[in-house]
Amino acid sequence: MDGGTAEGTQVTDVFLHQRYLSRREVLRGLGAAVALPFLDAMVPVARAVARSRSKTRLVCVEMVHGAAGSSAIGIKQHLWAPAADGPDFDLTPTSLASLEPFRDALTIVSNTDCANAEPFTASEIGGDHFRSSAVFLTQAHPRQTEGADVQAGISIDQLFAQRVGAETPIPSMQICIENVDQAGGCGYGYSCVYADSISWSSPTRPLPMIRDPRVVFDRLFQVTRPDLTPRENLQRLAEDRSILDSLGMSIARLRSRLGAADRLRMSEHLDNVREVERRIQRVERYNASGEPRELPAAPLGVPDSFSEHVRIMFDLQILAFASDITRVVSFKLGRDNSNRTYPESGFGGAFHPASHHGGKEDRIRNFAVLNGFHVSTIPYFLGRLRQTLEADGNLLDNTLLMYGSSMGDSNLHNHKRVPFFLSGHGGGVRGGVHIRAANGTPLANVMLAVLHALGADDIHQFGDSGAVFAITS
């Protein structure tokens, strides 16, 4: 593995500059602060950090409404879980086919259930769409209420964030693609927050998800701006200013203290920051132009294109991970009952009706196209993780991404044989394997294993877990 820390470069840096940079070094300007990527000049500090605790990142991606591969026909046709267990799985017929270039980093765990998303009482029957999202990362059964007395459980991302969050400026980030800004009750006696958030910092505290890439960007780079009037906002967009414009002196000062390799690395990082900023500005300019929008109610920074929106959100995560601003992200790709269409997928039908396929083969296959399209957003992120080097390898080596849903067959609204996979080697997960669980195995067992892999092996129970699932063997 190329760690990007050539010994010669380290020696040169030490010899010439007699000083190491803090991993917390930040470029500061007026109203903005940009954290640095890993640099050779930080090596002794980074080594100390690596010795004390590996900087593992956790990304939890939820896509609602289960998968076509969880239906009876979909199981037979291997539309989600491959036919073969073990390392020799064939992804071709599955919705995971786009992950083939990353099969070595892929751990598919199939045939698990989310029993805590099932109804427990008569009044909960039929409320599956309104409580499922709250179950995915908590594996807890949400209390049926439309009031403020919501209750689920602490989500897995927050359990991890409680352990590592203090080491980064932002303990964790919660981001989403669909509109999740709904208030009150959403249906069947459930508060909207159950469908709007997947992250719970306590059993009674769901965390808001950020949909606007601009808001994420500003938060990552501590951009402060006074409340702008719409006119001032348009003027700002027209001027195409960058946060980097205010960092000139700070960049120049630091550059003079760095060796050649570090200067290049810092330059690439700042280019990446600027590139993401440019894309957000381009989206904002278009959305402010008066041209018709597919998502007219969405904030200015939200692209109409699902793929573009997801990609910007992933690029923001790369920037956050590379500069160690946060190590924990939960990412909600969809919202239950959404009628969004995904023209880029090749199937034009709306999502919610497509997921209610009636058990008919042609409609199941259409839904599988949408499932495959959603999964196909992941390889871009995995590729960027692999390209991004840090002290002890690359980001893919140190990141564990989980993707799934707490619903199985959305036509039946059940929570059996839910779609799920892990990707990346964070926590020592080896990958390159399809593991088929025994019937009735709780997904919570897998999540408990993930917690243990991430170092939280003092946690003995998560949701309805009954044992620790073997994911690292």
When binding is defined by CB under 8 A, the residue of 11, 125, 238, 249 that contacts another protein is 125
Give the nearest distance from C-beta 120 to another protein in angstroms.
4
Nearer to another protein among residue 53 and residue 360 (C-beta) = 360
Give the nearest distance from C-beta 126 to another protein in angstroms.
4
Give the nearest distance from C-beta 188 to another protein in angstroms.
6
- Interface with another protein (CB under 8 A), residue total 21
Cβ of 242: how many Cβ atoms within 10 Å? 15
- Alpha helices by DSSP H, 128-167: 128-136, 156-164
When binding is defined by CB under 8 A, the residue of 263, 356, 365, 436 that contacts another protein is 356
What would the two tokens of residue 247 be? Answer: 């960092």
CA distance 372 to 384: 20
Residues 133-171 as b/e (b if ≥16 CB within 10 A, e otherwise) read: bbbbbbbbbbbbebeeebbbbbbbbbbbbebbbebbbbb
CA distance 422 to 429: 9
When binding is defined by CB under 8 A, the residue of 30, 122, 297, 438 that contacts another protein is 122
Q: Do 32 and 24 meet the contact criterion of CB atoms below 8 Å apart?
A: no
| Window 173-192: residues binding another protein (CB under 8 A) | 186-188
Q: Do 337 and 194 meet the contact criterion of CB atoms below 8 Å apart?
A: no
Residue 203 binds to another protein (criterion: CB under 8 A): no
CA distance 360 to 375: 22
Residue 393 binds to another protein (criterion: CB under 8 A): no
- Give Cα separations from 135 to 280, 404, 408, 462 (angstroms): 32, 11, 13, 12
Give the nearest distance from C-beta 5 to another protein in angstroms.
54
Give the nearest distance from C-beta 447 to another protein in angstroms.
20
Give the nearest distance from C-beta 121 to another protein in angstroms.
6
Name the β-bridge partners of 205.
202
Residue 126 binds to another protein (criterion: CB under 8 A): yes
| Window 35-94: residues binding another protein (CB under 8 A) | none
What does the DSSP 8-state code read for residue 22? P
Residue type at 50? A
Per CB under 8 A, the segment of 77-85, 356-364, 422-430, 434-442 that binds another protein is 356-364
173-176 and 185-187 strand pairing: unpaired
- Give Cα separations from 139 to 134, 144, 203, 363 (angstroms): 8, 15, 11, 30
Give the nearest distance from C-beta 338 to another protein in angstroms.
11
When binding is defined by CB under 8 A, the residue of 263, 412, 459, 472 that contacts another protein is 412
433-442 and 106-113 strand pairing: parallel
Per CB under 8 A, the segment of 24-32, 352-360, 372-380, 429-437 that binds another protein is 352-360
Residue type at 74? G
When binding is defined by CB under 8 A, the residue of 13, 62, 128, 390 that contacts another protein is 128
Name the site residues for another protein (rule: CB under 8 A): 119-123, 125-126, 128-130, 141, 186-188, 337, 356-358, 411-413
